[in-house]
Structure 1
């Protein structure tokens, strides 16, 4: 042997070697397996199961047919099931919540606006009616009503101006006659 090469491993079964693990148990023979199977299995019987089952069925009392359920006579027939009532209640709660939110938004009005109080609205309408009466009296008293007296441009313009004022006051009264009126707040 060349130097530096490992020495050969010791031979098994040689002098100084002993097994540390015991051997496995011996495998049983075919005859032993047959005997073991016979002793462990169910005992052999000579009963004829087909004949005995037929005799049992003939002698037994026949089963009564199960009576069909009459669904029309049940207590909850035609009633809405509880889970649908619960869902319906949840939907109604959502609708109510949405309606309340919409109502709160409509009461608050647009941003930068406030709802005109009823007393203010009535006072404004009364003032506009008084102003319309004053302008109408002035219009009736002027001599520019008949076509013969409209001989100058100034009279024609004065008549048109009074008619425009009366028309504007009537429009304003009509606008203020509505139920809800929003006015701009002082901040804007």
Structure 2
């Protein structure tokens, strides 16, 4: 192990020559002494009545002190931070696409054709399954009457009921003869049959013999 012995040792290991402050100070003192001697000699040779020269300042004394590195490794983090903070590079902006461009499409707002066909196929499958289920419930020798045929039969039965009602209304108030009694009984029986048939054909589904 070879630990670092102070900042100067760290600078030497980093390849930086440490500043000899004692030497610089000695040079500055020597220059200042020489300047003072020259100024004193000039004052002795200067005639009376003339302005005295201002004291000469040594340039070495005005020499700015060198800034010591900010760390033992010899790196100047202050300057590095300043350089890194200058005008950070921004990533290039990506061109934004017009979010409303899809509104200009011809088929905007319309259901695609393949979805319409799929819906139609699903409806047809449901209807076929319902018909198959109904067909399984129909007894042998029977059939389900189509809706159009049921409506036509129901209309005929209603017309027959009206005719029988008019015939019953045309009977005499007093029915005494055997033929008149048979006529009245026959009309009433027919009227009951028609009303029963109307009840049957008024149902949404009617089964009839083949």
TM-score, length basis structure 1: 0.40
TM-score, length basis structure 2: 0.36
Q: Which protein is bigger by CA-based radius of gyration?
A: 2
Larger RCO, structures 1/2 (Cα 8 Å, 6+ apart): 1
